[in-house]
Amino acid sequence: MRLVDDLLDVSRISRGQLRVRQERVELAAVLEQSLDVARALVEAAGQDLAVSLPERPVYLDADAVRLAQAFSNLLDNASKFSPRGSRIRLSADCDGTEARVRVEDSGSGIDPEHRAGIFDMFTQWPAAPDQVRSGLGIGLALTRSLVQMHGGCIEAHSEGLGLGSTFTVRLPVAAAPPGLQRESVRTDPKHIADPYRILVVDDQPDVRGALAMLLESQGYAVATARDGLEAIDAGERFRPDLMLLDLGMPRLDGYEACRRIRQRAWGKGLKIFALSGWGPVDVQGRTHDAGFDDHLVKPIAPSALLEIVAKAYRS
């Protein structure tokens, strides 16, 4: 399925039909999306993944999904061409005008005679005897196209076969979103005594985990729950400042969970946002009656969610 998707994307790019939907996003949030995809592969290969991200937020004008796809391809390649037990490193930094993301591995490296065409379509080079060759040789070509569509560039470096590889992506930096130039979305718990506490409630583990990871990357203290009953128990212990509460869940849905939470002393001043695939027009009356403060529609862009949470934190 992934090969088919890549082929379709390459075909759309060649016909000029692939569009990127740019918005103001934070680089760390985009990288976390790519890491979500890569971690399982790296762990299955018995490899170690080291991550180093900027302490300060770095903003880009980008399509978060497409840019995360590009970084996922680089991490996938690094794992594929590295031996078991090796280390893969993802790092990012910024000089104020340009963001740099590096994916480094200690794997098979690049033969100097193949380096010039490494980003060309269907380019492959001989695998080591203990490596299984997979793919069609389109991942790097697609990655370069996606990076270029964001006004950036990508380069590859290797000292030679068996000496590992480093892929560096350079992207133009954007200004912070309006209203955040002076106050960052990031609230690093190392610099505040009591970090903003958020409870994420969703019965889908991938959604729950992705939201928790995104919010934790900004310095928020995050707890999770799988349904309404767990949300009430977790709220009693965690005492959140904000709750992202899914509506359609087993055992106890979001509507009834919100009603019960509002009856508790710790839940009266709590900000509770409904998080659902249903639009607010469909359920706005029910969410209002149940005691929700707002309604967020899934899937929500990471940058949009972070801005909403930042506003709740400042209010």
Report pLDDT for 77.
87
**112-116, 128-132, 135-139, 290-294 — most confident range:** 290-294
pTM (2 d.p.): 0.53
> Cα 270 to the chain's mean position, in Å?
27
Residue 256 or 32, more confident? 256
* Domain parsing of the chain, residue ranges: 2-172, 197-314
16-20, 128-132, 269-273: the lowest-pLDDT one: 128-132
Q: Looking at the domain that runs over 197-314, which CATH code has it been given?
A: 3.40.50.2300
pLDDT(311) > 90:
no
| The listed CATH number (3.30.565.10, 3.10.20.30, 3.40.50.970, 1.20.1050.10) that belongs to domain 2-172 | 3.30.565.10
Does residue 136 register a pLDDT over 70?
no
Q: Identify the residue with better confidence: 159 or 272.
A: 272
Summarised one tens digit per residue, pLDDT across range 56-110 is: 889 999 888 888 889 988 998 899 888 888 999 999 999 878 999 999 998 888 8
